[in-house]
Amino acid sequence: MRRLKGQLSLTMALIVLFTVAVISLLSNILIAGEFEKYIGAQQKEKADDMISNFSGQYDGLTEQWNEEYLHGAGMYALYDGYIVKVYDREGAIVWDAENHDMSACHQVMTEISARMKKWRPDMQGAFAAHDYPLTQNEQAVGSLSISYYGPYFLSDSDFRFLGALNTVLVAVGLASLCAALLVSGVLARRIARPIIRTGYIAKQISQGDYSARFEGNTGTLELDELTAAINHLSDRLAGQERMRKQLTADVAHELRTPLTTLSSHLEMMIEGVWEPSAERLQSCYEEIGRLSGLVADLERLEEMEHENLALHKTRVDLMEVVRTVCASFAADFKKKNLSLTVEGGSSILEADRDKLCQVMVNLLSNAVKYTGAHGHIRISVKDGEDHATLTVEDDGIGIPPQELSLIFERLYRTDKSRNRESGGAGIGLAIVKSIALAHGGTVRAESRGEQGSRFIMTLPKL
């Protein structure tokens, strides 16, 4: 497996190499083409210049050629690679470079041919003579033959110029390559470092160290999101771990009391200190009942917390749920002589009916549990625009203000209820809360001292 840094550097280097190669090739072709056109145009201009200059060297009056000039200009042209011959009107040679300096002409021709063959082997060029008429006032005075390497030829300095251009391109390519390697190295390090660190933190988390966190910013949006997700995961796992420990401790605590009572009662009876009377056996039976109740509650809570994600929503009338559950409590109301008022009208929501029944059962059973004989319970359903509100109110023992936020925690029971026989395991309200949250709703408790409690739940209608 290749490392990120290596991969990034290699990719960037390849891109730069490719780009530089393409640019070099294109510019070489373009520049060479343009340059050759320019040289061709210059050669034409040179020939035109020579024609006009050479035409002017004929004196019509004396019918003489300025041979001194012809010689100077002809030799000058020779060293530029042009072999010149001037003929008079009758076609007799006036001045001929080859006649003057055969060896120089030969040398120029071989040098140019060799140079062009070396640098432009595909060109298949050759020396060729081009004839031009020489005129004065539109009267022919002679002709000029210029022989040069065609279709074009370049001097040593021209080739040096093209060579320098290539060197510059290669240098630019190498410099860009170095810059690309440097930049990709820095970039790869910037990307790789947080990823490596995140991987290390994820490993620590997988080994149970939930305190591991990614500190600081990476400066890259996606990487920041990744590190934030890892930190969030760590928080969540730490929270779950805390809850798990808390729950284990709470359950152990809840189990210990009935188990101690049971075992001490049974021990006394086994050792013959106590008679196993029906009354004592009944008390043992009740303790076992409490234990079973606790186990059943725990099972329900576990079920609720797992099922929260999967609500089976249908159209439900909250008032219908209230009335159904109230009817099932008729016997309990009667036993304690409690009076019940139900207010409000129907309110239709998209919700899980069974879960709403569970909420109602838990709230109403608490109200019954924590309200003394002849107490009063009031239930109201309010149908809002996009929310429904359920209120369950009693005039029972009330909840101390400092405990109002705690009673929704699992296994939390107020001191008041602990002292009462009627108290449960402290799970009912945790279930109510998780159902409310799963529906996107809220639940809270209010209490005015000892004058009773009020539970208010709001649920979105859709």
Helix (H) or strand (E) holding 325: helix 318-328
391 near ligand ADP, rule: CB under 6 A: no
Hey, CA dihedral for 249, 255, 257, 260, is it positive or negative? negative
Does 429 engage in binding with ligand ADP (CB under 6 A)? Answer: yes
- Based on the shown chain and the rule CB under 6 A, indicate whether residue 424 belongs to the binding site for ligand ADP: yes
Pairing, β 387-394 against β 314-317: unpaired
Q: Where are the alpha helices (DSSP H) in 130-219?
A: 156-206
Give me the least distance between CB of 206 and ligand ADP, in Å please. Answer: 35
Is the Cβ of residue 146 or residue 407 nearer to ligand ADP in the bound state?
A: 407
Quick check: 417 binds ligand ADP (CB under 6 A)?
yes
The residues facing 350 across adjacent strands are: 315
428 binds ligand ADP (CB under 6 A): yes
Rg, Å, the chain Cα set: 53
Q: Which amino acid is at 109?
A: M
**Where in 321-386 does DSSP place strands (E)?**
339-344, 348-351, 376-383
Q: For residues 84 and 427, which CB has a smaller minimum distance to ligand ADP in the complex?
A: 427
Q: Does 54 bind ligand ADP (CB under 6 A)?
A: no
Residue of the chain from 16, 154, 399, 436 that contacts ligand ADP (CB under 6 A): 399
Residue 453 binding ligand ADP, by CB under 6 A: yes
Indicate whether 329 belongs to the interface with ligand ADP (CB under 6 A). Answer: no
Q: With contacts defined by CB under 6 A, name the span among 43-51, 183-191, 229-237, 427-435 that binds ligand ADP.
A: 427-435
CA distance 370 to 364: 10
> According to CB under 6 A, which one of 210, 394, 438, 457 is a site residue for ligand ADP?
394
Options 17-25, 141-149, 212-220, 366-374: segment touching ligand ADP (CB under 6 A): 366-374
Looking at the Cβ atoms of 100 and 416, the one nearer to ligand ADP is 416
The bridge status of strand 126-136 relative to strand 83-88 is unpaired
Q: Which residue is nearest to ligand ADP (CB)?
A: 424
Rounded to whole angstroms, what are the CA distances from 194 to 9, 11, 202? 18, 21, 12
CB of 1 to ligand ADP, least distance (A): 53
What size, in residues, is the chain?
A: 462
367 in contact with ligand ADP (CB under 6 A): yes
Place of tokens 């110029």: 161
Shortest approach of ligand ADP to residue 248 CB, angstroms?
18
Other CB atoms within 10 Å distance of the CB of residue 378 = 17
Instruction: Determine if 377 is a binding residue for ligand ADP (CB under 6 A).
Output: no
What is the DSSP code string of 427-450? -HHHHHHHHHHHTT-EEEEEE-TT
* Rounded Cα gap, residues 399 and 404, in angstroms: 6
Q: Which two tokens stand for residue 318?
A: 């909250």
Answer yes or no whether residue 301 interacts with ligand ADP by CB under 6 A.
Answer: no
Q: Nearest distance from residue 426's CB to ligand ADP, in Å?
A: 4
Nearer to ligand ADP, 115 or 410 (CB): 410
Q: Smallest distance from the beta carbon of 325 to ligand ADP, in angstroms?
A: 15
359 forms part of the interface with ligand ADP (CB under 6 A): no
Closest distance of CB 409 from ligand ADP, Å: 8
Whether 373 and 443 have beta carbons less than 8 Å apart is answered as: no
How far is it, in rounded angstroms, from Cα 363 to Cα 396? 13
- Contacting residues toward ligand ADP, per CB under 6 A: 362, 366-367, 370, 394, 396-399, 407, 412-414, 417, 423-430, 453
